[in-house]
């Protein structure tokens, strides 16, 4: 289990490995806390945060990534 529950091609998107994100969130954010990702991409951080019981705020300037992120399961807001 890598924390991501939506399959997205690694070749099509630039995103961090879910296992790496998971360790950072566990170390830096308490349960029910809020994770800020100012470079949200397609939203892998948001999925991992949600799966770990955290909320998130994401910021992304690429409209194509925003469209993908909005379709993925979330527990936060995206700007
Ligand atoms: C490595 S990817 C994001 C990976 C993502 N955090 C994850 O969870 O896998 C970096 C993203 O930052 C976005 N980006 C770069 N500069 C930005 C800026 N100034 N404002 C918003 N988004 C930015 C890019 O469009 C790209 O989608």
The domain containing residue 30 runs over which residues?
18-74
Task: Give me the mean pLDDT over the 39-55 stretch.
Answer: 94
Tell whether 5 is covered by a domain.
no
Statement: residue 52 has pLDDT above 70: yes
pLDDT score for 74: 76
Residues with CB under 6 A from ligand 1: 14-16, 21, 37, 39-41, 44-45, 59-62, 65
How big is the CA angle at 12 (ends 7 and 18), to the nearest 5 degrees? 45
Q: Is the pLDDT of residue 69 over 60?
A: yes
Q: How many domains does the chain have?
A: 1
Question: pTM for this one?
Answer: 0.82
Which of 77, 27, 34, 26 lies closest to 54, judged by CA?
34
46 located within any domain? yes
Q: Over the chain, what is the mean pLDDT? A: 84
Q: Which one has a higher pLDDT value, 5 or 64? A: 64
Return the ligand 1 atom nearest residue 44 CA. 8
> Is residue 3 one of the residues assigned to a domain?
no
Residue 50 is predicted with a pLDDT of 95
């Amino acid at each position: 289990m890598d924390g991501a529950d939506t399959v997205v091609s690694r070749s099509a998107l630039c995103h961090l490995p879910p296992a790496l994100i998971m360790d950072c969130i566990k170390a830096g954010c308490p349960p029910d806390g809020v994770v800020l990702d100012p470079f949200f991409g397609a939203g892998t951080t948001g999925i991992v945060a949600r799966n770990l019981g955290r909320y998130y705020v994401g910021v992304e300037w690429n409209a194509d990534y925003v469209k993908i992120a909005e379709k993925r399961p979330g527990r936060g807001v995206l700007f």
